[in-house]
A and B are shown apart, each in its own frame.
Chain A
């Protein structure tokens, strides 16, 4: 053991920089590996913390265009549940994408998400109630809150009875234990869903997402439901739009892609596979670096090893000592990685993964990572252990053992793999960044995003019932050229509503539906092709986009009428703006002015050239004249789109960070390899200098080798990254084109970094007096 620590001390003392870099590289690699494992584990165990998860299913449907969606009406929910005997338990969930509400807590306005759910929601999903019973949502105006919310705003979990609005009407009826991050049940406020009489009877009022506890009756329910649907569809004829019902287990929701309205942001299996590949690549690179580092020490340690052999140490004991060294180094790096993760847990880096980075909260991932680290230590330690103890003293004296062609090929291949990984990740990261910027800044949404300020005015208690009064007041500001109310914020969410209208023939007209008030097109800068914008006098009117007219050419046009209870006149045709995110193509849309529909998103267009921040202050002043205490949140479209594309931003950030990590680890690898090379080639360098090579010539020789490896690896990396990014971009209806200049830029950056690394490491030896190396004569 003493010999072990003495050896370690010797290595640390003699090769300070290299040892520190090696430890750093291992620590960083283990940190990145663990973060990825935590994320993958989080996804793989999604929703498993919900009690009885294996028997709970989310109900979704397929429409005649093959689109999957969750929206369901109350009559349908009752029918589906009745298909099992006894009747299956179910809940309804009202997530419309924009769930942020303003509450008033302990004298402050706060913004928190609030979703309406069935009263039996807590009991259905096994909420662990700290305060309040499972029936706490039965009461009107009641909300239940997570423990974290209670502690954050009240400092205590004992908050039942406390109010969360200024009028003092909405009160906390229960506090539940927070759910883990890998669960679709978010730790937010839940209230009892409001179901109107109309919604109770109207089969077309598809406003909810349904979860059912089916268990053994799933087949029965599925069969009965679809049979019933077919019967209804036969009667409805052309008006039928739903073709089948499907049931997805909640433990599968994480991987269920393409279902509109799903409360779970899906993870694509290909993306998961990519993350796992990155994790494996990172560990591989770090292990290779470690092996290179250990190999570079062979000439230095050989004398000591051989002396110990002569004095009686067995090969087995020597190998054991070297492997134990490797274990110790890896364990030190592992614990350093745990420290880094704990440090990151409270930083923005933790937000890169849904699992967070706190080791204590991700023990299975930590345990798995520990097993991998031990495996790495054993394998990476065995290689130099066997090599170092395999040479006979005679060979050791010759000193040429490190330069066999096979050894050189392996090292070249290994550094090539590192370059390949770094280059591929960097190219992917850059393209993702460009795509993100395109989505949020430069893409054409079909409406004028600049000079727009948006504010939700629905919740302040002092606001007039008729929000047009507020809009009118804002319009009177000198720099405001137009203002319009809408129910939702354009381009913010993919969860738009789909109301089913009928034309004069009774056929369904069921595009996406947006609700808006006067001057909407003018305010949003959407081009009007025909007809007119919504005016203050209008009560029930519709503007359709060009795609809707193309889809229903016979029955949808200016002057025609559509029915949803009452008749609505089509007053205009507008351009095909992007009403939801750029992830999907532009769709047929109805912009509906419905009498008394609660539109409370205020969109304000200011004159070009106006100082936007001053404009924002002015608008805020007008709003505060109605409610002086409320903290209105005004946003520019840049902010809105940043939030819309958070998923892409997060992925882009993840890939960027991992690519930087891969580059960092690769450069450490290059550093180690150059150290190895220059150590073994000291004599060769000396001979070259004797025969006329300059310092610059020696540096050029080393750089040429590594840049050539980089160039070859880069070609493969560029091809792979091109294919992978191309496939990822197919998820977007609107996307950038793949530009080869990006690849060139990455190559230039990597070449520069490599050249600097190689030159810095080689400089000392390249400059050294050849006499020093040849002194061994």
Chain B
């Protein structure tokens, strides 16, 4: 079943003097449970595509179907509600909130769903166990290493067991050991049934994905199936 489907997706940015087409008539399908890597040079439109897939932005034209529902023209409020609990985000620079503890950062997505405190606590504790960061629950992000911060970010992304995870350069700010650690976690999540779409510059990280999509100037230039998944 298709989780993500785009038809002639276009995203352009217009200024007074110039129009830049970041995504140019892109057609893409991602099945449920798939692990897709998107690669390409800087400025090819992969982050823009990820933002549209994550309902953080609307396309200029074209269609975007999420779980069969046309979400291309939703307003911001509807996109926010649709995003809640269904899509998890992992960023290159973690984007943890410095004023919140590890526990509170992970709990953040749950606070917008008005769950009972006991259930909230259970879900956060479980994911902290899973990510082996329970011992850091009361620490603040600046007290953690890069690897630990990304584990917290992943925990935050998956605490609500979303069906889709969008990761934008998840290992970009990590050393190879921590990077491998993160990729293994993503693989485990994928094996458990979560669809993962990852933007990466790293060939090595792309090898964890089943399919690699190459982009260039806003278009898909090639699609490669990976038979030797890490």
Contact = CB atoms under 8 A, between A and B. Distances in A.
A522 interface: no
Interface string B79-91: 0110111000101
A403 B141 CA distance: 13
Contact of B80 (A400, A403, A693): A693
Contacts of A408: 99
B188 interface: no
Contact of A770 (B56, B93, B99, B172): B56
Interface string B55-90: 011000000000000000000110011011100010
B112 A697 contact: yes
Contacts of B57: 769, 771
A695 interface: yes
A694 B80 contact: yes
B156 interface: yes
Given A770-B56, A774-B91, A777-B93, A691 B112 contact: yes
Contacts of B51: 771
B92 A777 contact: yes
A771 to B, nearest CB: 5
B144 interface: no
Nearest to A690: B89
B97 A684 contact: yes
Nearest to A400: B98
A101 interface: no
B191 interface: no
A507 B84 CA distance: 94
Contacts of B80: 689, 692-694
B112 A692 contact: yes
A695 B99 CA distance: 20
Contacts of A777: 47, 91-93, 168-169, 172
Tell me what chain A mostly uses at the interface: helix, strand, loop, or mixed: helix
Interface string A240-280: 00000000000000000000000000000000000000000
A692 B85 contact: yes
B108 interface: yes
Interface in A502-524: none
Interface residues of A, number: 23
A683 B83 CA distance: 18
A53 interface: no
B167 to A, nearest CB: 12
B41 to A, nearest CB: 15
A328 interface: no
Given A684-B97, A691-B108, A771-B51, A400 B92 contact: no
A400 B109 contact: no
Tell me what chain B mostly uses at the interface: helix, strand, loop, or mixed: loop
A687 interface: yes
Contacts of B91: 774, 777
A403 B98 contact: yes
B130 interface: no
Contact of B56 (A400, A688, A767, A771): A771
Given A688-B108, A692-B113, A400 B142 contact: yes
Contacts of A400: 98, 142
A589 B109 CA distance: 78
Nearest to A403: B98
Most buried by B among A688, A689, A774, A776: A774
Contacts of B99: 403, 408, 684
Contacts, number: 62
A459 to B, nearest CB: 76
Interface in A741-777: 767, 769-771, 774, 776-777
Interface in A381-419: 400, 403, 408
A403 to B, nearest CB: 6
B202 interface: no
B95 interface: yes
A774 B112 contact: no
Given A683-B95, A687-B95, A769-B57, A692 B83 contact: yes
Interface string B94-110: 01111100000000110
Interface size class of B (residues with CB under 8 A): 20 to 34
A677 to B, nearest CB: 11
Contact of A774 (B85, B95, B142): B95
A292 B93 CA distance: 28
A690 B113 CA distance: 14
Nearest to B96: A687
Contacts of B56: 690, 769-771
B98 A693 contact: no
Contacts of B156: 691
B97 A687 contact: yes
B168 A692 contact: no
B77 A691 contact: no
Contacts of B113: 692
Contacts of A689: 80
A690 B50 CA distance: 13
Contacts of B77: 694-695
B113 to A, nearest CB: 7
Nearest to A776: B93
Contacts of B169: 777
B151 to A, nearest CB: 17
A693 B112 contact: yes
Contacts of A687: 95-97, 108
Contacts of B84: 691-692
Nearest to B173: A777
Interface string A691-708: 111110100000000000
Nearest to A683: B95
A695 B76 contact: yes
Contacts of B95: 683, 686-687, 690, 774
Most buried by B among A400, A688, A695, A770: A770
Interface string B14-55: 000000000000000000000000000000000100010010
Contacts of A686: 95
B142 to A, nearest CB: 7
Contacts of A690: 54, 56, 83, 89, 95
A686 B51 CA distance: 13
Nearest to B56: A771
Nearest to B153: A687
Contacts of B92: 777
Contact of A691 (B93, B109, B172): B109
A777 B168 CA distance: 9
A362 B81 CA distance: 63
B146 to A, nearest CB: 13
A769 B97 CA distance: 18
A695 B75 CA distance: 12
Nearest to B89: A690
Contacts of A767: 76
A771 B109 CA distance: 18
Most buried by A among B54, B80, B96: B80
A306 to B, nearest CB: 20
Nearest to B97: A684
B107 to A, nearest CB: 10
Nearest to B52: A771
Nearest to B109: A691
Interface in A661-685: 683-684
23 contacts: A400-B142, A403-B98, A684-B98, A684-B99, A687-B95, A687-B96, A687-B97, A688-B97, A690-B89, A690-B95, A691-B84, A691-B156, A692-B81, A693-B80, A769-B57, A770-B56, A771-B51, A771-B56, A776-B93, A777-B92, A777-B93, A777-B168, A777-B172
Interface of B: 47, 51, 54, 56-57, 76-77, 80-81, 83-85, 89, 91-93, 95-99, 108-109, 112-113, 142, 156, 168-169, 172
Top 5 closest pairs, chain A to chain B, by CB = A692-B112, A692-B84, A691-B109, A687-B95, A684-B97
Given A403-B98, A690-B89, A691-B109, 16 more contacts: A687-B95, A687-B108, A688-B97, A689-B80, A690-B83, A691-B89, A692-B80, A692-B83, A692-B84, A693-B80, A694-B77, A694-B80, A697-B112, A776-B93, A777-B91, A777-B169
